[in-house]
Structure 1
């Protein structure tokens, strides 16, 4: 029986229409800009993605909030009461408290609903990396796999979900403690762009650098060339911090080098974008390892 619900959070950064088509239940994280709080919803209804990044460019003070345990419990219990089993695929525990809140909520409810299945998966993914992992779960469910089989596949394969990022402005990474003030200053003066990835513990790690924007974008595709598995069978995901032309450049370079099933491009949502900043470009695919 594969009639189960997939519950996730808005840091999956999927297009809202895809989330609805797949029947996902999505809980939003939130951002605070000045004295205003906005939901990080997938459609950008609370604050449009472009407006959010414009405020970041104007150096608005921005903080973020995870989904809390009470919100998870309310949503999970409503689904369980409907007789549904629930598979939760959540934002990396290495980047947010969202997974821990969801896991604790699930542990309390499992005891109350022993006839139901309620699983939580720490995706160890971010942005459309999490979204791409969810797509695989949706496809497995559609093919008839049980909730246990899908959960097991996710656990066995999530560390093959490759995340490669670059940013245009090092100062946002400096504020988040990802690079030092000296590195940010020197990099800005010399036009050096970092190349980052999400490691096996779900943390965002600086692993390289490139001289100039195009070189850094090219480096993302170079990484894909090194580790991608069966690209002709894959959907490739690209997310961006309000820099669609750069995301499209990466897409076109991928299509030049590989045969793939297709490419999905969407925004980096406000919660992740608050830390990575405008000009972020991220590439996601399945590889031999991260």
Structure 2
């Protein structure tokens, strides 16, 4: 007898220990290219190895989505064991991974319900965790996927970029923004919008002010919506992430704050030193 539902995601998400150990969760890695060398994200390249390579790289690395054929291989295996799957992927405005996943399922003739998270990192993870809850409540896969797609608007995120050069060379910032940012030594604050696009929303003149900016946004959400679950994702700056957590706890003493590392494929674009603060501005019934 087949299992009712598999869960698919990709390495742009924050892969918690729960997801790693979950028997029905499958993570498809993106690719990182250094010249002629290709590595599977979080499979062939550790975060330490990535930072070493980034510091010494003469040529800026590139990333690419998994091919439809890669997904088809997975779905051909899964259709022997599962009735269907729900796939939660990184924003389709920032990556073609969702399209590859859907194409791979069609090639394998495997029933797939695709959710465009319109997010990255824990924005994807939170939807999957929410999906587990809905599955436990007895919702059918089609309704779970539809509900998750509706809930993407609850996602909130503020990101301080660690390396303007990497963001610029990766095509996420135009030349004028990069020139002015470098000239003025500003730290841009960017956000993944409700439409799933990366957009600059503010800028500050120091790391200290950038951290205070994040604390202020968490404070506002707590006071307006009662938000008390936050995620801090960092690119090799654990001390700053811990400091940010402590500052938020001064305002929201009972907050639950997760600290984790950004996936290597995201670090390629955002750069070492990046810090992201994420949470869901959600109705109380979700908590």
The TM-score with structure 2 as length reference comes to 0.87
Does structure 1 retain, via aligned residues, the 8 Å contact 2:219–2:248?
Answer: no
> How many angstroms does 1:202 deviate by?
1.0
Q: For residue 52 of structure 2, what is the aligned residue in structure 1?
A: 54
> What RMSD, in angstroms, separates the aligned Cα atoms of the two structures?
2.4
Distance 1:193 1:6 in 2: 37
Offset from partner CA, 1:35-55 (integer Å, 9 cap, x none): 3211112xxx42220220222
Matched pairs, number: 278
> How many angstroms does 1:248 deviate by?
1.5
Q: For residue 274 of structure 1, what is the aligned residue in structure 2?
A: 268
CA separation of 1:260 and 1:25: change in aligned 2, threshold 3 A: farther
1:188 alignment partner, one of 182, 192, 202: 182
SS of 1:52's equivalent?
Answer: helix
Q: For residue 155 of structure 2, what is the aligned residue in structure 1?
A: 161
Does structure 2 retain, via aligned residues, the 8 Å contact 1:231–1:259?
Answer: no
Q: How does 1:1-290 map to 2 (within 5 A)?
A: 3-15=4-16, 17-23=17-23, 24-41=25-42, 45-60=43-58, 61-109=60-108, 112=109, 117-227=111-221, 229-232=225-228, 234=229, 236-259=230-253, 262-287=256-281
The TM-score with structure 1 as length reference comes to 0.86
> How many angstroms does 1:187 deviate by?
2.7
Does structure 1 retain, via aligned residues, the 8 Å contact 2:155–2:278?
Answer: yes
Distance 2:187 2:82 in 1: 50
Does structure 2 retain, via aligned residues, the 8 Å contact 1:8–1:88?
Answer: yes
Distance 1:66 1:207 in 2: 27
CA separation of 1:271 and 1:281: change in aligned 2, threshold 3 A: same
Q: 5+ unaligned residues in a row in structure 1: which ranges?
A: none
Distance 1:22 1:161 in 2: 24
Distance 1:256 1:3 in 2: 44
Does structure 1 retain, via aligned residues, the 8 Å contact 2:5–2:82?
Answer: no
> How many angstroms does 1:81 deviate by?
1.7
Offset from partner CA, 1:142-197 (integer Å, 9 cap, x none): 44443233212211111211121111321112213333444434433433100000
CA separation of 1:253 and 1:144: change in aligned 2, threshold 3 A: farther
Offset from partner CA, 1:184-216 (integer Å, 9 cap, x none): 344334331000000122111111001101211
Does structure 1 retain, via aligned residues, the 8 Å contact 2:233–2:241?
Answer: yes
